[in-house]
Structure 1
Amino acid sequence: MSDSNTTNAQQRADGPTTVVSAKPVVLPVPGRGEDLQVRVSAPVTGSDLPVIVFSHGFGSSMNGYAPLADHWAAHGFVVLQPTHLDSRTLGLPAEDPRTPRIWRIRIDDLKRALDGLDVLEASVPGLGGRVDRSRIAVGGHSWGAQTASALVGARVLGSDGRPGEDMSDPRVKAGVLLALTGLGDDLTPFAAEHFPFMKPSFDTMTPPALIVAGDNDRSQLSTRGPDWFTDPYTHGPGGQTLLTLFGAEHSLGGVSGYEAAETTDENPARVALIQRLTTAFLRSALHSEDTGWNAAVTALEDDPDPLGKLQSK
Structure 2
Amino acid sequence: MRTTVVIPAPDRGTDLQIRVSTPATGDSPPVIVFSHGFGESKDGYDPLVDHWVANGFAVLQPTHLDSRSVNLAPDDPRTPDIWRIRAADLTRVLDELPRLGRFDLDRVAVAGHSWGAQTAGMLLGARVVGLDEDWTDPRITTGVLLAATGTGEELVPFAAEHFGFMRPDFAGLKTPTLIVAGDADQSQLSTRGPDWFTDVYHLAPGATHLLTLFGGEHSLGGITGYNATETTDENPARVAQIQRVTTAYLQGTDLAIDGSTGKLESK
TM value normalised by structure 2: 0.97
Residue 74 of structure 1, CA deviation: 1.1
Q: Deviations over 1:138-180 (max 9, x none)?
A: 000000000000010000011xxxx531111000011000000
Counterpart in 2 of 1:9?
none
1:21 paired residue number: 2
Distance 2:83 2:198 in 1: 21
Residue 232 (structure 1) aligned with residue 212 (structure 2): no
**Pairing 1:134-283 to 2, within 5 Å after superposition:** 134-158=106-130, 164-283=132-251
Residue aligning to 1:113: 93
Q: Which runs of 5+ in 1 are unaligned?
A: 1-19, 122-128, 285-291
Identical columns (%): 64
Match of 1:48 in 2: 28
Is 1:311 matched up with 2:262? no
In the alignment, the residues of structure 1 paired with residue 132 and residue 148 of structure 2 have an alpha-carbon distance, to the nearest angstrom, of: 19
Whole-Å Cα distance in 2 between the matches of residues 119 and 268 of structure 1? 36
Q: How does 1:33-112 map to 2 (within 5 A)?
A: 33-112=13-92
Moved over 2 A (4+): none
Alpha carbons of structure 1 residues 238 and 169: separation in structure 2 relative to 1, 3 Å: closer
Name the residue aligned to 1:7.
none
Task: For 2:92 and 2:46, locate their aligned partners in 1 and report how far apart those are by CA, in whole Å.
Answer: 22
Aligned length: 267
Distance 1:83 1:239 in 2: 26
Instruction: Report the Cα distance in structure 1 between the residues aligned to 2:146 and 2:88, rounded to whole angstroms.
Output: 20
- Distance across 2 between alignment mates of 1:99 and 1:56: 17
- Report if aligned partners of 2:51, 2:243 keep a CA contact under 8 Å in 1: yes
Give SS of 1:148's match: helix
SS in 2 for 1:182: coil
- Structure 2 counterpart of 1:21, one-letter code: R
Distance, in Å, in 1 between the alignment partners of 2:45 and 2:230 is 12
Residue in structure 2 matched with residue 32 of structure 1 by the alignment:
12
Q: Which residue does 1:126 correspond to in 2?
A: none
Structure number with bigger Rg: 1
Deviation (angstroms), 1:239 = 5.0
C-alpha separation between the residues in 2 aligned to 1:253 and 1:164?
36
Three-state SS of the structure 2 residue aligned to 1:196 is coil
2:107 partner SS: strand
SS in structure 2 at match of 1:177: strand
Question: Is 2:179–2:207's contact at 8 Å kept on the other side of the alignment?
Answer: no
Which residue of structure 2 aligns with residue 289 of structure 1? none
CA deviation profile, 1:183-211 (whole Å, cap 9, x unmatched): 00000000000000000111111011000
Q: How many Å separate the matches in 2 of 1:262 and 1:235?
A: 30
Per the alignment, in what secondary structure is the counterpart of residue 250 of structure 2? helix
